[in-house]
Amino acid sequence: MPDRSVPRALTILVGAAAAVVVLFGVREVASIAGPVVLALVLVIAVSPVRARLSGWNAPAWVQVAVPFLIVVLVLLAMVAILTISATELAALLPSYTDQFARLLADAQHWAVTHGLSNDMLSKALEAFDPGRVLGLAQYLLGSLIGVLSALFLIVVLLLAMSLDAPVTARILATGEGERPRLVTALATFAHKTRRYLIVSTVFGLINAILDMVALSLLDVPLPLLWGVLALIANYIPNIGFVIALLPPTMLALLDGGVRTMVLVIVAYIVINVVTQSFILPKFLGDAVGLSTTMTFISLIVWTFALGPLGAILAIPLSLLTRALLIDSDPNAKWVQGLVSGKLPSAGAGH
């Protein structure tokens, strides 16, 4: 029989159509898919604790209980901080109505004295409403609280995954003979995800602490809230810094004026440049394995599918997708180069 290969264009179109269907399906069940992925990522993050306990020959229940309790305590602390801070922010925002009106009047007066159109400035200021920027922070925090408030589902998933983790590790080990590339790809996904989370968390905490110190020195309200926002936004690629910067900047403008706003911007930029541009790359290196373009595309795609939580989990989700669809396929080396932005080595196995 003659070899009738499927046209490449048809393969691409079918693959793209399947991807769209999957993404819309994930979007429809985002309230379930989000907590599931979050639980999986958290279990991967604390897996070194289980491995260390196993190396110490700790009882099986200790190997399950300790990582599980670490994750649950962190989640509870995050829920408590976000809930209290978001409540304080909601109560604080109405008190700045007069300040915003005064800033608007001063800007209009400055425009008139410099020959600018008052109507044009009014439209620009209406579009640039600090309340909208602060509302964006409330929306992000509210969405996270909505996810984290489903603690029962997340805790049950965490417990189930923690109980299954030792067995899953042994099953993957036994599968190396039949599916070596898939097992290696999943192990690489876990390693890269864990390294990304650990390094990002450490530097996110450093950023958050330095930001809180700077905001406290400048007397900007709710420094703890903005520190937590900086930590969370640190997991959002490309635009996380802007998300963390805008709300405290607008609040500084309303509370302390233009000088305080400028000082907040300068402080955030200095902290971010030192930690994210000079120090972080030396520790993170090429652990992610995604090009800048692919990172930004993954941010858009997973935010569309899972909302704000998808933005935070964009890198782990993209690493999982790469492991399942690309790294496990021996014929996809050139795709690895496109995704990572680097030419694959001649002897690379995955």
For residue 117, with 0-12 CB atoms within 10 Å meaning exposed, 13-18 middle and 19 or more buried, which class applies?
Answer: exposed
Whether 306 and 197 share a structural domain: yes
Whose CA is closest to 233, among 272, 263, 282, 261?
A: 272
Q: What is the pLDDT of residue 103?
A: 66
Q: Rounded CA gap, 166 and 170, in Å?
A: 7
User: What is the SS3 assignment for 312?
Assistant: helix
Round to whole Å and give the CA distance between 226 and 212.
7
Domain total for the chain? Answer: 2
Q: Are residues 63 and 147 in the same domain?
A: yes
pLDDT in tens, 94-137: 776 666 667 666 666 666 666 665 566 566 555 555 555 555 55
Q: 225 and 161 in one domain?
A: no
**Mean of the per-residue pLDDT values of the chain:** 78
- Written as one string, the DSSP assignment of 180-200 is HHHHHHHHHHHHHHHHHHHHH
Burial code (b: 16+ CB inside 10 Å, e: under 16) for 182-209 equals bbbbbbbbbebbbebbebbeebbebbbe
Are 205 and 171 members of one domain? no
Q: 228 with 296, same domain? A: yes
Residue 22 lies in a domain: no
Enclosing domain of residue 216: 181-341
Q: Which residue has the higher pLDDT, 193 or 152?
A: 193
Centroid of chain to Cα 182: 26
Do 46 and 143 have their domain in common?
Answer: yes
Quick one: which H or E segment has residue 329?
Answer: none
Indicate the pTM of the whole model: 0.77
Dump pLDDT digits (tens) for 161-177. Answer: 888 877 777 777 776 66
Same domain for 160 and 197:
no
**198 shares a domain with 336:** yes
